[in-house]
Chain A
Amino acid sequence: MPGEVPLRGRNLGDLAFKTLLTIAAIAIPALLAFLVWELYLGSKLAIERYGLGFISGTNWDPVAEEFGALPLIFGTLTSAAIALVIAVPLSLGVAIYLTEFAPKWIRQPIAFVIELLAAIPSVVYGLWGIFVLIPLLRTAVFPFLRDTLGFLPLFQGPIYGNSMLAAGIILAIMVMPYIMSVSREVLLAVPTSQREAALGLGATRWEAAWTAVVPYARSGILGAIILGLGRALGETMAVTMLIGNRHEIAASLFAPGYTMAAVIANEFTEAATDIHFSALTYVAFTLFFVTVLVNAAARLLIWRVSRGRPSGGQGV
């Protein structure tokens, strides 16, 4: 009975299986290439008409067919910078506390709760921002900042509520979970011997964490921060709802501004001329390239620390 299986034979199942998987895998780079191509085609008109002057122009007037994206780029970078200034110390504090100091039983629940923040849809942040955060900022926080730090141009001028600072603050809340969870992963990957060596030399627990553990994970933490930056640059809804949507470059953080993502969200359905569509697509194209560069840098840094392990970053 056993000898009945002939040795020769072909296996069509394997061929079909590999073919299907290969098609799925090819679809990924194909989709991205297609995306780049479509964005290029869409923005071709504007690229030909405005070239790189698009990036340095400050006037945005669809009726006069003038499109300068500098205020958008400024707003995108400024709101992201505010977000990082607030979110980085907070997320690092939490990440270091959770890996080095917190009682064991509390670590998982806190990390879980903070990662839940990443699951909240952007539009819900926007809603909360409009009705809870903005009133709070307008009536309490902004006046306080103007009274105490008003000597800086950043905190001068009329208070609107919807503003660059409001957008930056909501972005900070939104990117914090990403920075926190990636930093935490990176810190967890630091070998225990690092801590023990420092403690053995008589360092306090804080000194051990700050001088032995954190520097070891430095480039991974930097990667986490840049990953957060990537998120902040491309974030759309909450920013659109809070930033005030005005094409101007203001010194004061209390003034409204605009971002690249927000202008696409606001104007795409209203655009009436081909050149307006094309200009908006040009903005999308530029935004795409900036985020690709930022993310590539982040991945590289994280990969250097946690070599071998596939990098996290979407760990919700």
Chain B
Amino acid sequence: MADRAPPDAPRIRAAGLTAFYGAFAAVKDVTLGFGANQIHALIGPSGCGKSTFLRTMNRMHEVVGGHVTGQVLLGNEDIYAPGVSRTRLRRRVGMVFQKPTPFPTMSIYQNVAAGLKVGARLPKARVDEIVERALQQAALWNEVKDRLHTSAVALSGGQQQRLCIARTVAPEPEVVLLDEPTASLDPQGTQRIEELLFTLKAAFTIIIVTHNMQQAARVSDTTSFFYLGSLIETGPTKQIFTAPAVEQTEAYITGRFG
């Protein structure tokens, strides 16, 4: 697969990356970069390796026993170099999951502030500021500002997911990974999330895995198509959806398989 990184210097970039679960290669030799302040969509049929690839960006696939060969460069540091701390890496590359995962024992406020706990100690006033900013960014502030100290599990599914986005962006990571963040939401909840992604990209590099091609087309700046663990094609979203270069890509986006 040829190296076709987006034009501007990538914020995070995989180079010759192969990801394994045991002996099974779920992602095969992918080289792909993601520019700052853009939204990048990863698409492909289920089992194509797009989620695994996403999880290699902050080494979350290792939680379920995966490993990789190749490199992922954050800036110009290899996140798989020996001595790299996964916890420190994840403070710089945050992640939002398919199902909302608010911490059930914490209030809304505590949930948003949860990621700040592992960084340097901050004064209360500063934490208040960050929580408000993060909830604003996640378009949730107006709905919850009067009940910040109530349980987070009382929120609706869509609100919970926006809460998780607020929790992820509160510590100001450089990169935000989203793994099918709207898969469990209704259309209205999905729309809110898509809208807030546009505001978020001013501050972050965003990579989103989605099984929904319309969503990729609506929100992303670049799109990469995965199939059977390989990166088939990547490019500006418009180009991928209107004039794909590879036949498999065309087959997928026109719904002929998947």
* Residues of chain A contacted by B214 (CB below 8 angstroms): none
Interface contact A2-B174, CB-CB below 8 Å: yes
- Confirm or deny: B88 has a beta carbon within 8 angstroms of a beta carbon on chain A: yes
Interface contact A8-B84, CB-CB below 8 Å: yes
* Residues of chain B contacted by A1 (CB below 8 angstroms): 172
- Confirm or deny: B77 has a beta carbon within 8 angstroms of a beta carbon on chain A: yes
* Residues of chain A contacted by B83 (CB below 8 angstroms): 8
Nearest CB on A from B118, distance (A) = 10
A11 to B85, alpha carbons, bound, how many Å?
A: 8
Interface contact A5-B84, CB-CB below 8 Å: no
Residues of A in contact (CB 8 Å), total 10
A59 to B119, alpha carbons, bound, how many Å?
A: 74
Q: Mark B67-89, 1 if CB is under 8 A from A, else 0.
A: 00000001101010101110111
Answer whether A2 and B85 are a contact pair too, CB < 8 Å, given A7-B77, A7-B79, A7-B92: no
Interface contact A8-B85, CB-CB below 8 Å: yes
Nearest CB on B from A293, distance (A) = 37
For A7, give its contact among B84, B119, B172, B173 (CB under 8 Å): B84
- Confirm or deny: A109 has a beta carbon within 8 angstroms of a beta carbon on chain B: no
A27 to B16, alpha carbons, bound, how many Å?
A: 46
Answer whether A7 and B87 are a contact pair too, CB < 8 Å, given A1-B172, A2-B172, A2-B173: no
Q: Mark A8-46, 1 if CB is under 8 A from B, else 0.
A: 111100000000000000000000000000000000000
Q: A8: nearest residue on chain B (CB-CB)?
A: B83
For A10, give its contact among B74, B77, B85, B173 (CB under 8 Å): B85
Nearest CB on B from A12, distance (A) = 11
- Confirm or deny: B211 has a beta carbon within 8 angstroms of a beta carbon on chain A: no
How many B residues touch the partner, as a band? 10 to 19
Instruction: Report B68-126 residues with CB < 8 Å from chain A CB.
Output: 74-75, 77, 79, 81, 83-85, 87-89, 91-92, 119
* Residues of chain A contacted by B171 (CB below 8 angstroms): 2
Nearest CB on B from A15, distance (A) = 13
Interface contact A7-B88, CB-CB below 8 Å: yes
* Residues of chain A contacted by B74 (CB below 8 angstroms): 7
Interface contact A5-B75, CB-CB below 8 Å: no
Instruction: Report B171-202 residues with CB < 8 Å from chain A CB.
Output: 171-174
Interface contact A6-B88, CB-CB below 8 Å: yes
Answer whether A2 and B88 are a contact pair too, CB < 8 Å, given A7-B74, A7-B77: no
Interface contact A7-B174, CB-CB below 8 Å: no
- Confirm or deny: A3 has a beta carbon within 8 angstroms of a beta carbon on chain B: yes
A10 to B77, alpha carbons, bound, how many Å?
A: 17
Residue among B75, B77, B92, B171 facing the most chain A CB atoms (10 A cut-off): B92
Q: Mark B210-242, 1 if CB is under 8 A from A, else 0.
A: 000000000000000000000000000000000
* Residues of chain B contacted by A2 (CB below 8 angstroms): 92, 171-174
For A3, give its contact among B79, B87, B174 (CB under 8 Å): B174
A5 to B118, alpha carbons, bound, how many Å?
A: 11
For B89, give its contact among A3, A7, A10 (CB under 8 Å): A7
* Residues of chain A contacted by B84 (CB below 8 angstroms): 7-8
Q: B85: nearest residue on chain A (CB-CB)?
A: A9
For A9, give its contact among B77, B79, B88, B119 (CB under 8 Å): B88
Nearest CB on A from B255, distance (A) = 37
* Residues of chain A contacted by B89 (CB below 8 angstroms): 7
* Residues of chain A contacted by B87 (CB below 8 angstroms): 9, 11
Instruction: Report B118-177 residues with CB < 8 Å from chain A CB.
Output: 119, 171-174
A280 to B85, alpha carbons, bound, how many Å?
A: 58
Known: A3-B92, A5-B91, A8-B85. 10 other contacts (CB 8 A): A2-B171, A5-B92, A7-B74, A7-B81, A7-B85, A7-B89, A7-B92, A8-B83, A8-B84, A8-B88
Task: Please give me the 3 A-B residue pairs with the lowest Cβ-Cβ distance, nearest first.
Answer: A9-B85, A2-B172, A8-B83
- B: residues with CB less than 8 A from A are 74-75, 77, 79, 81, 83-85, 87-89, 91-92, 119, 171-174
- A: residues with CB less than 8 A from B are 1-3, 5-11
The 10 sampled A-B contact pairs (Cβ below 8 Å) are A2-B172, A5-B88, A5-B119, A6-B88, A7-B74, A7-B88, A7-B89, A7-B92, A8-B85, A8-B88
